Each structure stands twice: as C-alpha cells, then as structure tokens.
C-alpha cells in the first residue's frame, strides 16, 4: 500500500482551523510539531502541538509567508521533544485534497533540509481547504514531496480525507445499493476505504467481521492466535465440526466466512494469527484506521486501550457478563460497549480495566486454575456465553462504528453503554476521564507509547 498517514486529535484540528481560517478570507500559515507511529507497512505522523507564530514571525498579505526565525525556533522545540516539524497553510476557498502551488512548493522545499538536519525527521507540508475543512499532507523526505495517502481527524467522530490518487474511491456495486441509500455516497466512499481490524474472532468478532465485509469495506484484517475447538462450535456461527477436528486457525475460518459475505470488488482480507500482546501483533494493528476489540482478557484489552490514544486509532470494545446462581440458572446478564477516542474515557477511567488484573494476566497467572481459586478470582477463560446473546454485543459495537463514521445527527460515539438484561435497560455510564490518567495523557505519543507488549509469552498452563 502506498503513502503515509497523518492523524490529528480533534482538539488540535480545532486549534488549527481557528488560526488558519481567517474572518477576512486571507490565507494564513503556522507550524506544528509531530510524533511518529511505525506500523508493519505504514508510518503515521501525529500533529500533537500547535506552535502559533509570535509577533513578526509571519506576514499575511494574500499569500501568507513566514520568517526563517520562526522555523528555527519551532525546529529547536521539536528536536527537544524528539519530534518533527510541520508547516501548515490554508486555501480559504479550497475543497477536498489540495495540490501544491509553485510558491508553496518553494517555501516548503527551502526549509526541508534545515528541518531534517535539526530534527532528524522529514519536514511535513500540510494544507487546509477552507470550504470543507479537508486536510492534505506530504512529506519532504527527498527532493520532491511524497504525498500522504490519508489525513485522519480523530475524536468522537472519525473524519478521513483520502488522497484519491493513491487510494481511489470505489464506485458502489449493485449489491450495495441499499447500504449506500442508508448513509449516502460520500460516507460510503469514506468508510469503505477505511482499513478495519477485528481483534479476537470468537462469537462476537466473527459476526462483526462478516458484517463489515458485507458492507463493502475493501480492506479488513482479523487477528487471533487461537484455533477452533469443539467447545467453540455453539457460538462460532459458520465454523464446522470439520474445522474443530482439524483445529483450524480462527482467523482462517473468519477469512473464509468474510470472503463469502464480502460485497467489495476485490476485498483484501488479512488473516493475522498472532497476539496483539506481541510486538509483531501491535505493529500489524498500527496499519489500521479503526479496531474492534473483541477479546475478553485484561492484557490484550490493555494494549488496545493504550494504542487507541497513543496511536490515534479508534478502538470499539465490547463484552458480555453472564452471572449464574449456584444451581446453574441464569441470575443476570449485561453487555457493554464503548469507543476509545479522544473525548471519551479510556477503559481504566471507565473501570473496565484493573491494573492488578492486567499484571496477573501478563504473568500468566490468569491461566493457572489453582492461583485463580486461591485468589478468589473469576476465571477469565471459559466464562459462560451463548450465541443468542453474543449477537447483542456485536450489534452494540457495530452501532458505535456507524456513529463514529456516519455520525447520524452529527452526534458521534456515545458515552460507554451498558445494557442490563433482566429489566431491559440501556444505561449511559457517567464515567469521565480521571485527572491523572496516564493513558489519555499519552495522546499521540506513537512509538513513545507506554510499552505493553512482550516478545515471548510465558508458557501457557495446560487448561485441560
Ligand atoms: Zn483514562
């Protein structure tokens, strides 16, 4: 796949548009610093700090210009932060992805070498189109700029500006007419180009993956290190007895089912038989634009919780909790769903992740039945689940995806939700970001994120 991707949290987008889109309709300019996130095949750059010009550092006169002192000042700040520099300017009446005029080309090129030498990172050029607030970006890693494939603005809504030359829109097929009529061709062209990853293809993840494929999304990934067992068959819709006998990888079953459901012309489906807790699993995940978290263990959920903020990839998480009486009857059931994005609390703040449990999981102790019993914990593997309720979890997560991308009513994703089965009540949870949340403070840190992955897992304790 071609091209890097630029992402910015919505607060940075708001700060930049407030400066670059002037009331008098003239072009304006400013600088920002960026961090880097290195995926397996994609590099992403994140605008984290806006560095507005001091008096005298830029001139507005139809075509805005800036002084060398301004660039030097921000390059020194960026170097101290181990970040790079971006030069941003506006095209007040532009719409969509913007090209580079001769004047702007020369202005960016003239500083590219200086910035590269001072920061060790390529200068980025970024343009804002005033008519629709669309971004476009390029990197000066050689004499001529390399164009980015996309720019993502990440908040309670995900807005993606695509470089149509590198990632062209695909005309909807006859099999997608009803889908397009639900949210219109613009949204359809945006979301079918998203790279969407489903982590964990058990009952919930397998259902979600097939529905994404049926929607026409071109590029999908599924990640799971596990294989199909006999005990999975009552929940994995589409998996066969033969799959269980051959102990087929869950991602292979998912790929087969997704291919038969897919409506895209030539869907790219990437089966990733690995764990998100490994460095290679994390790197593969960083190539995606949206991730569904369909895993129930604390460690992988903690990894996804971290990357949602540090790597600006919206993570849509969900899970079910079925509570039984001693005699085995169902006492209660509830399922929850939340999207992890800037502007919504992370799973530590919403009490979905407990640090002590994450560290037990990392030590392999949650696989040890003796330890679990002695510590009075609930076993995390093998908890009750039924296919007829897992559909409610996947439905809840998919509804978050629609709010994130199509944003009906311009509302974006909701606060964390919990559906309580016995009284049939849907609750919006009031959890907010805690004052010193280290996860959300690491917003846009990219490769300098809090390390949560490990190369080799401790040997799994035999579960038989
Ligand atoms: Zn938090």
| Per-residue model confidence as pLDDT tens digits over 170-208 | 888 888 888 888 888 889 999 999 999 999 999 999 999
Distance between CA atoms of residues 412 and 400, nearest Å: 8
Residue 237: pLDDT band (50, 70, 90) is confident
SS in 3 state form for 367-399? HCHHHHHHHCCCCCCCCCCCHHHHHHHHHHHHH
Q: What is the CA radius of gyration of the chain?
A: 23
SS3 for 59?
strand
Angle at 385 between CA 383 and CA 386, to 5 degrees: 160
Element (H, E) at 245: helix 241-245
Q: Examine the pLDDT at 460 and tell me if it is beyond 60.
A: no
Cα-to-centroid distance, 239 and ligand 1 (Å): 37
Q: Are 15 and 50 in contact (CB under 8 A)?
A: yes
Residue 444: pLDDT band (50, 70, 90) is very high
Cα-to-centroid distance, 349 and ligand 1 (Å): 4
Angle between helices 177-191 and 387-405 (to 10 degrees): 60
Contacts of residue 164, Cβ cutoff 8 Å, sequence gap at least 6: 97
Distance between CA atoms of residues 52 and 325, nearest Å: 61
Distance between CA atoms of residues 295 and 277, nearest Å: 12
Could you read off the pLDDT of 305-358 as tens digits, one per residue?
A: 999 999 999 999 999 999 989 998 999 999 999 999 999 999 999 999 988 888
Phi first, then psi: give them for residue 82, nearest 5 degrees.
55, 45
Distance between CA atoms of residues 438 and 443, nearest Å: 9
Cα-to-centroid distance, 347 and ligand 1 (Å): 6
Torsion sign across C-alpha atoms 196, 199, 204, 209: positive
pLDDT reported for residue 179: 82
pLDDT reported for residue 180: 86
pLDDT reported for residue 43: 97
Residue 419: pLDDT band (50, 70, 90) is very high
Considering only residues 464 and 66, tell me which one the structure prediction assigns the higher pLDDT: 66
Q: Examine the pLDDT at 374 and tell me if it is beyond 60.
A: yes
Cα-to-centroid distance, 304 and ligand 1 (Å): 13
Considering only residues 62 and 350, tell me which one the structure prediction assigns the higher pLDDT: 350
pLDDT reported for residue 456: 61
pLDDT reported for residue 462: 40
Virtual CA dihedral for 224, 454, 348, 205, nearest 10 degrees? 0
pLDDT reported for residue 357: 86
pLDDT reported for residue 370: 76
pLDDT reported for residue 461: 43
- Region 412-427: mean pLDDT is 96
Residue 68 CB neighbours (<10 A): 11
Residue 378: pLDDT band (50, 70, 90) is low
Across-strand partners of 372? none
Residue 183 CB neighbours (<10 A): 16
Cα-to-centroid distance, 345 and ligand 1 (Å): 5
- Which pair of tokens denotes residue 443? 């917003």
Could you read off the pLDDT of 83-142 as tens digits, one per residue?
A: 999 999 999 999 999 999 998 999 999 999 999 999 999 999 999 999 999 999 999 988
SS3 for 20?
helix
Cα-to-centroid distance, 425 and ligand 1 (Å): 26
Q: Examine the pLDDT at 31 and tell me if it is beyond 50.
A: yes
Which CA distances in Å does 211 have to 3, 58, 103, 397?
A: 28, 50, 47, 12
pLDDT reported for residue 385: 77
Q: Examine the pLDDT at 463 and tell me if it is beyond 80.
A: no
Cα-to-centroid distance, 227 and ligand 1 (Å): 33
Q: Examine the pLDDT at 261 and tell me if it is beyond 90.
A: yes
Cα-to-centroid distance, 433 and ligand 1 (Å): 5
Cα-to-centroid distance, 346 and ligand 1 (Å): 4
Cα-to-centroid distance, 176 and ligand 1 (Å): 38
Residue 366: pLDDT band (50, 70, 90) is confident
Cα-to-centroid distance, 391 and ligand 1 (Å): 28
Percent of the chain scored above 70 by pLDDT? Answer: 96
Average per-residue pLDDT for the chain: 91
Residue located via tokens 């390029």: 138
Residues in the chain: 464
Cα-to-centroid distance, 419 and ligand 1 (Å): 22
Cα-to-centroid distance, 339 and ligand 1 (Å): 12
pLDDT reported for residue 454: 84
Distance between CA atoms of residues 364 and 323, nearest Å: 25
Which CA distances in Å does 350 have to 2, 354, 418, 428?
A: 37, 10, 12, 11
> What's the pTM value of the predicted model, to 2 decimals?
0.94
pLDDT reported for residue 371: 74
pLDDT reported for residue 1: 47
- In 232-314 the beta strands, taken as DSSP E runs, fall at 268-272, 290-293
Percent of the chain scored above 90 by pLDDT? Answer: 73
Cα-to-centroid distance, 437 and ligand 1 (Å): 5
Among 70-84, 146-160, 365-379, which is the least confidently predicted range? 365-379
Q: Examine the pLDDT at 73 and tell me if it is beyond 70.
A: yes
Considering only residues 156 and 239, tell me which one the structure prediction assigns the higher pLDDT: 156
Distance between CA atoms of residues 127 and 104, nearest Å: 10
Strand ordering across the sheet containing 84-91: 146-147, 134-140, 123-129, 84-91, 29-38, 43-51, 5-9, 150-154, 158-162
Distance between CA atoms of residues 310 and 446, nearest Å: 5
Distance between CA atoms of residues 151 and 97, nearest Å: 10
Cα-to-centroid distance, 313 and ligand 1 (Å): 15
SS3 for 128?
strand
- Region 21-35: mean pLDDT is 94
Residue 180 CB neighbours (<10 A): 17
Angle between helices 68-80 and 102-119 (to 10 degrees): 40
The DSSP line for 139-195 is EESSSSPEEPSEEEEESSSEEEEE-TTTS---PPPGGGHHHHHHHHHHHHHHHTTSE
Q: Examine the pLDDT at 25 and tell me if it is beyond 70.
A: yes
Q: Examine the pLDDT at 3 and tell me if it is beyond 80.
A: no
Q: Are 412 and 401 in contact (CB under 8 A)?
A: no
Q: What b-and-e string marks burial along 293-307, b requiring 16 or more CB atoms within 10 Å of the CB?
A: bbbbbbbbbbbbbbb
Cα-to-centroid distance, 443 and ligand 1 (Å): 11
């Amino acid at each position: 796949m071609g091209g890097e991707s630029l992402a910015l949290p919505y607060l940075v987008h708001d700060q930049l548009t407030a400066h670059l889109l002037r009331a008098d309709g003239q072009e304006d300019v400013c600088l920002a610093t960026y961090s880097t996130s290195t995926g397996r095949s994609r590099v992403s750059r994140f605008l984290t700090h806006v560095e507005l010009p001091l008096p005298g550092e830029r001139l507005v006169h139809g075509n805005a210009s800036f002084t060398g002192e301004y660039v030097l000042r921000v390059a020194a700040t960026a170097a101290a932060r181990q970040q790079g520099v971006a030069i941003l300017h506006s095209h007040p009446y532009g719409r969509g992805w913007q090209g580079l005029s001769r004047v702007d080309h020369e202005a960016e090129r003239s500083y590219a070498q200086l910035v590269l030498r001072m920061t060790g990172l390529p200068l980025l050029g970024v343009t804002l189109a005033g008519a629709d607030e669309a971004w476009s970006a390029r990197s000066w890693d050689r004499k001529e700029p390399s164009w980015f494939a996309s720019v993502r603005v990440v908040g309670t809504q995900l807005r993606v500006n695509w470089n149509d030359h590198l990632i062209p829109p695909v005309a909807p097929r006859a099999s997608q007419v009803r889908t397009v009529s639900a949210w219109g061709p613009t949204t359809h062209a945006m979301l079918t180009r998203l790279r969407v990853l489903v982590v964990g293809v058990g009952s919930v993840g397998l259902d979600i993956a097939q529905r994404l494929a049926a929607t026409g999304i071109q590029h999908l990934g599924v990640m799971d290190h596990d294989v199909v067992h006999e005990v999975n068959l009552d929940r994995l819709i589409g998996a066969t007895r033969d799959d269980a006998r051959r102990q087929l990888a869950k991602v292979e079953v998912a790929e087969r089912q997704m291919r038969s459901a897919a409506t895209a012309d030539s869907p790219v489906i990437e089966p990733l038989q690995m764990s998100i807790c490994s460095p290679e699993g994390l790197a593969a995940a960083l190539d995606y634009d949206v991730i569904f978290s369909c895993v129930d263990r604390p460690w992988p959920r903690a990894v996804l919780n971290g990357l949602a903020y540090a790597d600006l990839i919206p993570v849509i998480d969900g899970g079910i909790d079925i509570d039984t009486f001693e005699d085995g009857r169902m006492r209660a059931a509830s399922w929850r769903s939340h999207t992890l994005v800037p502007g919504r609390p992370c799973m530590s703040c919403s009490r979905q992740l407990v640090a002590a449990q994450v560290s037990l999981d990392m030590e392999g102790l949650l696989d040890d039945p003796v330890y679990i019993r002695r510590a009075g914990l609930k076993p995390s593997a093998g908890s009750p689940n039924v296919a007829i309720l897992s559909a409610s979890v996947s439905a809840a997560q998919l509804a978050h995806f629609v709010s994130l991308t199509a944003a009906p009513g311009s509302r974006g994703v909701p606060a964390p939700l919990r559906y309580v089965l016995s009284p049939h009540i849907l609750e919006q949870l009031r959890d907010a970001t805690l004052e010193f949340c280290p996860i959300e403070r690491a917003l846009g840190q990219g490769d300098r994120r809090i390390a949560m992955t490990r190369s080799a897992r401790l040997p799994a304790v035999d579960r038989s």
